[in-house]
Chain A
């Protein structure tokens, strides 16, 4: 056996002659033309051999039938791959754009199949191609860079111009004499026995190749190791910026240092004679309904702020604003039977509004400050009216709600003595 074996070169000592032959692996017979190979294959098959194969520089037409090769299951594999790709691509698009994060594109439906056809199509093709490519190699049991037949010089010419038929010794009909005779009768121009390798050094992978594989595998694991470390540890260091994007801009942020000014601060203080936004709304009681007691958390105010002068005109103003903003839900009497709840109830639904005047109810128990806050910021399904109603008018509404609550639970004693006569 000459030294033709390309992938198993010993890296240490090339000059050493190839060792004695081991067990017989099989017999190779050479034929002159594709046609003769075809006939020989037919004869070998008819003689009942199964562990044989023919080797040629190109696929010989008719060989599948002559050798009795069963049709490959590859088309089925590809069909499975393509189907997976189709379902996968459709599901991917539906899940990402219609389910997990429905995305409004020009008001179109979140799931509209025509727009998803191209990617479904490409997904089908992609998975079919991958399964055809990898399926073919896996079914062919490749890559496998070692094979006993590679030890034969003659076998190295198969990819050029040579037509070989190989019968392996493990075939149960194999018998060196009769098998050789069969191949010869079929017109072989040469016959060669191929033996298994016995030199242990030639059976192993070259050391440098082994080193390359091990080191490249180790290097490939480094990014994963870095990611794993980053996920399981904390760091105060800023991110590593490969591309700075707009992370670093030539501007000052609040509370940073700056040598431009004498005080060394980037922050500049208030400029005399100017008013900052929100600065005039510092009065917590008037603007937020909060009273600051002696220490501790601020409480809802129970009275009215000092800016509010309680008089008949203010009650009138409160009634006017209440009738505009509050009656659609709460009703003119504050019992929560406004036009909206009634209309919804008429349609079979329910949109209950709070009864503001119920004795011992939520609204009755609320301090003035909380009532004010509810008008400003809303509560439950009620939205805040801060944008529509100025602060003073909100206090007027608070006053009017208090008047309503009192009027709905008035006792005899509430009636001034000079008016008692008018009650019947």
Chain B
């Protein structure tokens, strides 16, 4: 009996207590992860690695802030390099979380309930990682608050016509919205944890979960406003997620650099963001589903649906690459032509090759149902997509800057150990946060899963 069949009322609750048993099973299956007295060995091992990576990141940031961004490999002409590549990559990963929680909610895709909580958490942690890069790229991150409009003794206001300023507003609105949306969805489930801890006499946890669940009572009058607010937030998050990556693409598209100055960027970036985000969702969920035995909640059909979305968005990205090449030739613009010739065959040809193979060729395997049913293969393919989408941003940024209008500005980009250290650090930050989330927070939206089960309609007349 899958969640998709919720509309075909199966009347499984005809026997007394049957429906309640089903709900109880959901609670138990989700709560045991957080209630297990000792964490899973694999979880501990993963957390150790994550914290080591995070420490590398902290050291890299310390060295960067105390010395200056000269420690990075950014040169005079390639002044946006790994930092902005990583920023766009992380932001893009975050977008799948919002898409799953908001867009699939609005389109009534009930399979989303099995993964939306984890996907939203992924969004928040990805935005945290993303924000680090432009913040540190300012060179003096302690002045970043100057970008917030406020009266000050310098008599300065922000310059609102700059796409970089749009970024500040778009990404911070996005981060805040994601946190509030996620937290609001969490409250009923945190109340479940509260009540379970109270029933077991675990007073410290009951108090903490009790405070963060705000005294949720599950009353119908509260559910009424809650559902309305959830719908409104989903409706607001949907245009927001499209606007955020469009604004990120404006950073490039409003400049005059060949290879950046194109109108295709907003839709192309949004498709790429969804593509990479779903790859990351699967990269995270497949091992956790295996480790914590969540096969009956995150079903094969859910994974299959995500593979199909990746196939579709992967081909959109491929179409965008092809369109860029076509327009470069068809426009007859000398600089545009050179930019794309150089992109594919210039000094960074290897990154273009990686991008095309990982983003366009590899996802074609998702056409086959046999592949969509094998989690190990899906996991490997998703790793390829993650790598490919990172290289997409690198290709756009580095190849365009390394070969701009004047040959005197031509150069080549090499990352330094501090570039690599900070990138590893954000992977560590993301993994640490995600692992902690998995251990202490209801990782699956229990109330939503119960609401779309066939038992949710048990005992109703006229069905």
Interface positions of A (Cβ within 8 A of B): 4-7, 9, 14, 32-39, 41, 53-64, 67, 69, 72, 74-75, 78, 92-93, 96-97, 100-101, 103, 105, 108, 112, 115-116, 118-119, 121-123, 125-126, 128-130, 132-133, 135-137, 139-140, 142-147, 149-150, 153, 155-162, 189, 206, 209, 242-243, 245
Contact = CB atoms under 8 A, between A and B. Distances in A.
A152 B21 CA distance: 21
A242 B250 CA distance: 35
B159 A105 contact: yes
Contact of A57 (B177, B184, B218): B218
B263 interface: no
Interface stretch (B114-122, B226-234, B292-300, B422-430): B226-234
A60 B218 contact: no
Given A57-B447, A96-B160, A132 B198 contact: no
B13 A35 contact: yes
B225 A72 contact: yes
Given A105-B159, A160-B192, A129 B236 contact: yes
Given A53-B221, A63-B223, A122 B459 contact: no
Given A92-B149, A147-B217, A245-B140, A119 B210 contact: no
Contacts of A162: 20
A141 to B, nearest CB: 9
A11 to B, nearest CB: 10
B70 interface: no
Interface of B: 13, 16-17, 19-21, 23-24, 27, 140, 142, 149, 155-161, 163, 165-166, 169-170, 173, 176-177, 180-181, 184, 188, 191-192, 194-199, 203, 206-207, 209-211, 214-229, 232-233, 236-237, 239-240, 243, 247, 250, 446-448, 450-451, 455-461
13 contacts: A6-B198, A34-B456, A56-B223, A60-B220, A96-B149, A97-B159, A118-B170, A125-B236, A129-B173, A129-B237, A132-B233, A160-B196, A245-B140
A297 B356 CA distance: 82
B173 A125 contact: yes
Given A32-B20, A33-B13, A125-B239, A101 B140 contact: no
Contacts of A67: 220-221
Contacts of A123: 169
B158 A96 contact: yes
Contacts of A149: 217
B233 A129 contact: yes
Contacts of B215: 7, 142-147
A53 B161 contact: no
Given A35-B458, A74-B228, A149-B217, A115 B197 contact: no
B188 A159 contact: yes
Nearest to A146: B215
Contacts of B446: 57
A147 B17 CA distance: 28
A61 B457 CA distance: 8
A13 B21 CA distance: 37
A57 B217 CA distance: 9
Given A6-B195, A75-B228, A96-B157, 19 more contacts: A7-B206, A33-B459, A57-B192, A58-B448, A63-B223, A74-B229, A101-B155, A118-B169, A125-B236, A126-B173, A130-B180, A133-B184, A140-B221, A144-B215, A147-B217, A155-B217, A156-B199, A243-B142, A245-B140
Contact of A157 (B156, B159, B195, B247): B195
Contacts of A135: 229
Contacts of B207: 6-7, 9, 206, 209
Contact of B160 (A63, A97, A155, A159): A97
A415 to B, nearest CB: 65
7 smallest beta-carbon distances between A and B, as pairs: A35-B459, A33-B459, A35-B460, A136-B229, A143-B214, A96-B157, A6-B206
